Structure 1
Amino acid sequence: MNTPKQVALITGASAGIGATYADRLARRGYALVLVARDTARLEALAARLRETFDATIEIAPADLTKEEDLARIEQRLQSGDVTLLVNNAGMSLKGSVLENGPDALARIIALNVTAPTRLAAAAAKSFVQRGSGAIINLSSVLALAPEMFEGVYSGTKAYLLNLSQAMAAQLGPRGVHVQAVLPGATRTEIWEKAGRDVSEFPPGFLMEVDAMVDAALVGFDRRETVTIPPLPDEGQFLAMQQARLAMAPNLSRSEVPARYRS
């Protein structure tokens, strides 16, 4: 009896982190559904992966900030053959909330929050029915360090971390693995689009995208819920998690504590 082929749907697949996930998953034998706005880049990537790995590739050009495109990718996830969602598509802002208007703010929230939430929900419903599947959400280390960058981008990434941890707790017992990946600064086009010059970064600050994705996949294979590729000491994150969980019994109480009594 033949084992059904694993199928990964990757958003933001035309370049950078998404394209690297496509390469690594094709190497592992996955069939791929590649989602991005740039059709020409998707076609070029698909051609290379077919030639190199004899991979089965479907391209699905889409702008995930547009309702009709997002709905179409939701429907693709619900078709029943996808076994892995890589929620990678995202953007940053040029400047802070002081330099951006309503349209820019609405767009980053649509791409970084609304789209991955809806796609994760669509995938989760399909995976729970099957009793298996996995979701990888690309967050950022800025979810843990909001003071280091403008707060809208880091806020969207903190949301994805929160969503991932909640989904992991809820869906893990039902056969669905959820992983949040928190890259540090990684050499991708996001910096140029945000108006940043990567040559200004100090030595040792910027990770190459191949190394980042390979590390993230090690975490995925280990079934980690949160993977932080640049963090040398996992104990630091685990200690933070333990401190956070230790607060849980005291986060909702009927009486105001003494420190807030006048």
Structure 2
Amino acid sequence: MTTRPAVLITGASSGIGAVYAGRFARRGHDLVLVARDNARLEALAARLRQETGVAVEVLPADLTRHGELATVEARLRNDARIGILINNAGIAQSGGFIDQSPDGIERLVTLNTTALTRLAVAASARMVDAGEGAIVNIGSVVGLAPELGMAVYGATKAFVLFLSQGMSLELAPKGVYVQAVLPAATRTEIWERAGIDINTLPEVMDAGELVDAAMVGFDRREAVTIPPLHVAARWDTLDATRQALLTDIRQAQAAERYRIAV
């Protein structure tokens, strides 16, 4: 019988992370659940053990704290049973760009980009050696839309998309699958924690529906999965246009329009 790889999930105590935990547990994967709230992790772990019979370990950690992040990195580097990383932990902030506090910006960027990247590096190095594995990075459609007015948050999510695409180009030939998942507004606690009333948002997806769609993309080995995008060709067109742009960039000379005296 084939042994299924264990799955390490960050931000696992609620919302998207907790749903991922349930879905993978029902597929027969053992779990390592990471989040700050130990009590909620333990309650989720107990329920999943009882309902599915898989082994569920709790690893409490605040990924914005260097020492606690390092503990999770070490686990990913050294535990050969972990074959899937769900890089889900993240936060948002309300208010305009000039309303952001320095400490708030640092925490947001640390969790959404630095911690995510460090965990991905820790996992991928071992996965490349094994010639197999999967890393799922949770981004957001906000990373495609500065018009939504969440400049810092959106920038971190644009980073996640770019990083995932770069990782995929480098790691896929070595046997490691990388998926970027781009949700739109999803019914989770991230909004309340950011001081945003979710009831003011026009359309909000249920976390279960989001994860179920993302896992269809996972099974299909999509590089980028956008669950709320109904016309898939629009993403294909955007990506093709981006690649065409690259062929038009001639680095040796400035474009003609910039070499004409005004």
Q: TM-score normalised to the size of structure 1? A: 0.97
Instruction: Encode CA deviations 1:139-197: one digit per residue, 9 max, x unaligned.
Output: 00011112213110000000000000000011001000000000000000111111111
Instruction: Encode CA deviations 1:102-161: one digit per residue, 9 max, x unaligned.
Output: 111110011000000000011110100000000000000011112213110000000000
Return the offset for 1:36.
0.1
Distance 2:227 2:4 in 1: 28
- What is the alpha-carbon root mean square deviation over aligned residues? 0.9
Contact 1:6/1:29 (8 A) holds in 2: no
Q: How does 1:1-262 map to 2 (within 5 A)?
A: 2-79=1-78, 80-202=80-202, 205-261=203-259, 262=261
Which residue identity does 1:217 align to in structure 2?
M
Distance 1:5 1:197 in 2: 40
Q: Which secondary structure does the structure 2 equivalent of 1:33 belong to?
A: strand
Structure 1: which 5+ runs fail to align? Answer: none
Contact 1:9/1:86 (8 A) holds in 2: yes
Distance 1:78 1:4 in 2: 19
Distance 2:93 2:223 in 1: 27
Which residue identity does 2:239 align to in structure 1?
Q
Return the offset for 1:252.
4.4
Which residue identity does 1:110 align to in structure 2?
T
Return the offset for 1:97.
2.7
Distance 1:183 1:213 in 2: 9
Instruction: Encode CA deviations 1:43-93: one digit per residue, 9 max, x unaligned.
Output: 000001001001110100000000000000000001122100000000011
Distance 1:149 1:122 in 2: 33
Distance 2:175 2:229 in 1: 28
Distance 1:121 1:14 in 2: 23
Structure 2: which 5+ runs fail to align? Answer: none
Q: TM-score normalised to the size of structure 2? A: 0.97
Return the offset for 1:201.
2.2
Distance 1:75 1:200 in 2: 41
Say how many residue pairs are matched. Answer: 259
